[in-house]
Amino acid sequence: MSHPLIDRLVTDFDWPRLSTMHDVAAFVAAPGAHCLFVPGDPRRNLESADVAVILPELHMTFQRAFDCAVVADAIETQVRTAANVLKTPSLIFYRDGLPLGGIPKVRDWDDYIARIPRILNPRAA
């Protein structure tokens, strides 16, 4: 089950929808930092659509310091378990194929602004 605001990340922003764990591994192994959006079920969790609106704003605010993809329903549980980020919706950040950390649920804007640099650059924090 998807939602128009989640689908727009794929259709309007051209972010990939990762449907297999192989897709995930290939995406996060590419050079640079990456953010996987794990939406969860938007029918049961109204925060999923909120994060779908927030993520493009974060992407621009951080001057595209990370690229983004949407995780398909079929592999959400595997992705969350592998990264040890168990709640949805969640943003899970990677570099060199390894999870750096995640931000579950909807947060205040200031929380995103504080946490993302610490996740992406743990030595600088």
Q: Look at residue 117 in the predicted model and tell me its pLDDT.
A: 96
Q: Look at residue 81 in the predicted model and tell me its pLDDT.
A: 95
Evaluate whether residue 96 is within a structural domain: yes
pLDDT along the chain (125 residues), means of 10: 91 98 98 97 92 98 97 96 95 96 96 97 69
Evaluate whether residue 28 is within a structural domain: yes
Domain that holds residue 59: 4-120
Backbone angles phi, psi at 17, to 5 degrees: -100, 115
Q: Look at residue 65 in the predicted model and tell me its pLDDT.
A: 95
- Total domain count for the chain? 1
Q: Look at residue 122 in the predicted model and tell me its pLDDT.
A: 73
CA-CA distance, 70 to 68, in Å (whole number)?
7
Q: Look at residue 124 in the predicted model and tell me its pLDDT.
A: 57
Evaluate whether residue 125 is within a structural domain: no
> For the chain, what is the HEC assignment?
CCCHHHHHHHHCCCCCEECCHHHHHHHHHCCCEEEEEECCCCCCCCHHHHHHHHHHHHHHHCCCCEEEEEECHHHHHHHHHHHCCCCCCEEEEEECCEEEEEEECCCCHHHHHHHHHHHHCCCCC
Evaluate whether residue 10 is within a structural domain: yes
* pTM for the whole structure: 0.95
Residue 69 sits in a domain of what CATH number? 3.40.30.10
Rounded to 5°, angle at Cα 74 from 69 and 75: 60
Q: Look at residue 72 in the predicted model and tell me its pLDDT.
A: 96
Cβ pair 70, 6 in contact under 8 A: yes
Evaluate whether residue 85 is within a structural domain: yes
